[in-house]
Amino acid sequence: MGRVTCDDFRKFIDAYLDDEFDARDRADFDAHVALCGCCRRRVEDHLSFRRCIRSHMQQKRDMPADARARIQARMRTVSRPDRAARWLSRVAAPLPAVAAVGAVALFYIPMTGFAPVVDDAVGQHCERVPIEVPTPEAREVDEWFRDKLPFELAAPRFDDEQVMLLGGRLSKVGGGDSGMRSRRAAYLLYGVGPHKLTVLVFDGKDLEIEDDSAIREVNGRRLSIHHDHHGYNVAVYRKGALTYAYTSDLPETDLLRLVANAH
């Protein structure tokens, strides 16, 4: 799509929030909303409205018997083959490659070490979910997360001008069949030229870097490097009580350089 204008954003905001764009157009819209305060507010208003509607929809309400009967009668008149065809087209529609990789990563059952963290990092990197706080300002991201996490977040800063913060959202790691207890996390999204970089930050003081991956010492940081994990490189390190998991399709040397110089 190229450069996105405010008019473009107004026209396509619902498609943006419903994740109907491909990866390239999605990146263009992410970049625009990160830089445009007016469109950020528009996103926040839409998300707030959706949350309000969702909360009301979840409330149980009794439907009058006559209204229920009319709806049921109308549903019986709808052609079943047509309905089946519509649902089949939705289910059978080919998934984008990135989404397919994400699905594999999310359902892979890890066994040891940092595998649950790495699988979550790659799975969430592949997801196409709108960010909740779209902004290029790290201090705004830190402030937004302040009362939403059980720890104080400082979003990684980079001196490299090619790296641009696009925003973040609440997330979690672990839980389910991962073998690691669920814990709340911050998901941070960056653009590195044409590449996507995501960072998961969470309290990992009880986790140890084990020998199931390459260990590197870079600028005094002990990094656990996972090569070509479903097509991505993942670098995990701990700073105090917090664990940081960087994920990207950047070459390993470039990813290590960014992680080493993050502050």
pLDDT in tens, 132-144: 998 899 999 999 9
101/44 same-domain check:
no
Q: What is the pLDDT of residue 38?
A: 85
* Count of domains forming the chain: 2
* Co-location of 103 and 224 in the same domain: yes
CATH number at residue 104: 3.30.200.100
Closest CA to 261 of 158, 139, 155, 162: 158
Which residues neighbour 177 within 8 Å (Cβ) at sequence distance 6 or greater? 109
Same domain, 51 and 143: no
As a whole number, the mean pLDDT across the chain is: 77
Of residues 76 and 175, more confidence is placed in 175
Q: Is residue 85 part of a domain?
A: no
Q: What's residue 124's pLDDT?
A: 92
State the pLDDT at residue 112. 37
239 with 117, same domain: the answer is yes
Q: What is the extent of the structural domain holding 51?
A: 6-57
Same domain, 116 and 230: yes
* 81 belongs to a structural domain: no
Residues 50 and 131 placed together within one structural domain of the fold: no
For the segment 74-116, what is each residue's pLDDT rounded down to a tens digit?
A: 555 544 444 434 433 443 344 344 333 333 332 322 333 567 8
Q: What is the pLDDT of residues 37-53, one digit of tens each?
A: 888 888 887 887 777 66
Residue 89 inside a domain? The answer is no
Average pLDDT over residues 104-130: 66
Model pLDDT for residues 238-254, shown as the tens digit of each residue: 888 999 999 999 999 99
Model confidence pLDDT, tens digit, residues 182-203 = 999 999 999 998 899 999 999 9
Do residues 232 and 125 make contact, with C-beta atoms less than 8 angstroms apart?
yes
Say whether both 232 and 181 belong to one domain.
yes
Q: pTM of the entire structure?
A: 0.61
Same domain, 115 and 177: yes
Q: What pLDDT sits at residue 180?
A: 82
Q: Clarify whether residues 40 and 106 are in a common domain.
A: no
More confident residue, 112 or 148: 148
| Both structure tokens of 233 | 């490189």
Does the residue 69 lie in any domain?
no
The residues that bridge with 198 in the sheet, in sequence order, are 189, 247
Q: Are residues 119 and 221 in the same domain?
A: yes
DSSP notation for 41-109:
HHHHHHHHHHHHHHHHHTS--PPPHHHHHHHHHHHHHS-HHHHHHHHHHHHHSPPPHHHHHHHHHHH--
